[in-house]
Structure 1
């Protein structure tokens, strides 16, 4: 495993946060929707000491060169505060390294362990320096459903209590309300859930629809309500010549209706809204999809994405080439092209690979519009 997320057409074109640190090899929460089951080499949970060592060398080099970085994400497919963290405290060590070296961090979890003093003190100190955003994953308002689909993880209610403590210390929190699962995420009580988000002063909600295999669709249909959605034809998630041919996601009609419902709730309660890897930029009210703007803007840089392309598209009605995006957004806030040469190789190679894929996508209008339907019309999609 490397410090950069694997290249793919969706991630390379849509995601800012392509840098990651995964403290452990696997995850014990056993969520039925977990995407990691398609990528993991092992189900054995143990510390990734070699990767942590590589991360330390990398950020020390960044500090030596006085380079700003894209925020690292801890983690992407493995919860950093699963029960094994009580024993090894690898995630705590990563927090300490980031604090000592001014590294911006997106902390992504569904655990409640982080509220304990041994971790919370570091999280609070990082937040005070504008270096930390906490993203908490919630899939459903229902504790009963969460116990079924996330059998070893804290319930939704337990996560909300942990968020309450976090926000009492003014630590910025975004909710990853995902994956959106028909019959689990779109139930009536979602309105009450968003009312709680407002009361807790949650800053942003990020949504993404579920991706799963045909067998998973049948399993969910037998377990959840809203079965009519499961009787529809689910879209292939794959693009041309990519390895996700077996993955499916709910039809665009359901996704749009559900996203708009959640967007409207977010607007009602004055919470920023964005989608994740959906390309529906016209629904967004947040400045960026990840909530990175909630960090100190002097502490990080970004990479160009289709969101920047969409900003240009709204003005011109034309999908821009990569060099046009660079001309428009080519200041110190973004890293690209020759700017990447001075970064440590362990980051440079991955960032250049993502950039190369993104450039290739932009010259294929069909694929670009498939990834981001907001680029297929200047209207409401």
Structure 2
């Protein structure tokens, strides 16, 4: 189904915790081949990327139908590096975003060396249609875990270069890995020193086998306690207590610079509403769907008055159906969260530790 090219599929974590479920995937795979990459579970193994030539035109058809304003934002991209190599289709996507005033969140590990691309980022940022999220999770360990990416120092230079031109940029320090705490705080500090407006963190989620491989490549002993990430227990991630410790460490660091911090798809700020865990409020206005946090803070009726849900989904055109599917799972998690949502088990612990 072509519409799913632009929508992340429903799951407890995505449906419950993400303000936007929209994406643009211009490539069929990724050449960066990061050892910890979760996308390989969804789009297959790494390799030489081929563009999807139908994506730009299909993107225009879909956004043309969106009647809500401001428009919801799309992520470019979620399953591969969007700027692996020059391709005219990327500029067609930018042209459509500009024409229909569609905000974009660019997730990149690139150092953006080609001028045409850099100029497009400046142009979209000038029209308040862009947030750049530069993923830079490691310093010394980068050559082991992500050897085909531009060096972390070149990505940090990109943050500085974009900020010098007024482009809103945040750093994604991910995946957080037990045993690398000091290194990952250092890279976050480097990003803030170069002008990043905020820090987003996300913990590693992997299979037992994958985690053992990562620690073997790092040449260190496996560290910390781990617990199930999903209901079926196929994946695990660091314990809630460890994630909370990291949450407070990065939040304190960001505040010391007068900047913001958010956790991606986690429960560490489960109390009350969040402005936006993607930090898009630092760059543009957009219409968002509610999350489990908002339902718990506001109640279902008030949350649907403030956010995009219920009958208003009709304003999304072809996107309405997948949004309804996500909303159904969100409401199911809200109404029966102790049975269905593993996040809910942590809720009382989080509240106690935050107080």
**Normalising by the residue count of structure 1, what TM-score does the alignment of the two structures yield?**
0.85
The runs of at least 4 aligned residues of structure 1 exceeding 6 Å deviation read 283-286
Matches for 1:102-141 after TM superposition, within 5 Å: 102-113=101-112, 115-141=113-139
Which whole-Å deviations, capped at 9, do the CAs of 1:262-320 have from their partners, x for residues lacking one?
222122222201101112115999732001212332xx2010102213434xxxxxxxx
Which whole-Å deviations, capped at 9, do the CAs of 1:327-355 have from their partners, x for residues lacking one?
24504xx211111113221x111111100
**Structure 1 alignment gaps of length 5 or more:** 313-323
1:348 aligns with 2:320: yes
Whether the 8 Å CA contact 1:303–1:336 is kept in 2: the answer is yes
Whether the 8 Å CA contact 1:198–1:270 is kept in 2: the answer is no
| CA–CA separation in structure 2 for the residues paired with 1:344 and 1:216 | 40
Which whole-Å deviations, capped at 9, do the CAs of 1:31-52 have from their partners, x for residues lacking one?
0000011111464521112233
1:301 aligns with 2:307: no
Whether the 8 Å CA contact 1:16–1:70 is kept in 2: the answer is no
Whether the 8 Å CA contact 1:139–1:180 is kept in 2: the answer is yes
Partner residue of 1:36?
39
Partner residue of 2:338?
366
1:303–1:344 distance in 2 versus 1, CA, 3 Å: same
1:330 aligns with 2:305: yes
| CA–CA separation in structure 1 for the residues paired with 2:260 and 2:274 | 5
Which whole-Å deviations, capped at 9, do the CAs of 1:164-216 have from their partners, x for residues lacking one?
110001111111111112233x12x4454343333222111111110111112
Partner residue of 2:347?
375
Say how many residue pairs are matched. 349
Whether the 8 Å CA contact 2:295–2:303 is kept in 1: the answer is no
Matches for 1:146-295 after TM superposition, within 5 Å: 146-184=142-180, 186-187=181-182, 189-224=183-218, 227=221, 229=223, 232=225, 234-239=226-231, 245-281=233-269, 287-295=275-283
| CA–CA separation in structure 2 for the residues paired with 1:79 and 1:284 | 33
| CA–CA separation in structure 1 for the residues paired with 2:312 and 2:114 | 40
Whether the 8 Å CA contact 1:282–1:374 is kept in 2: the answer is no
Which whole-Å deviations, capped at 9, do the CAs of 1:74-106 have from their partners, x for residues lacking one?
001211011xx32x2332321222112211110
1:226–1:266 distance in 2 versus 1, CA, 3 Å: farther
| CA–CA separation in structure 2 for the residues paired with 1:213 and 1:342 | 39
Partner residue of 1:96?
95
| CA–CA separation in structure 2 for the residues paired with 1:258 and 1:248 | 17
Partner residue of 1:6?
9
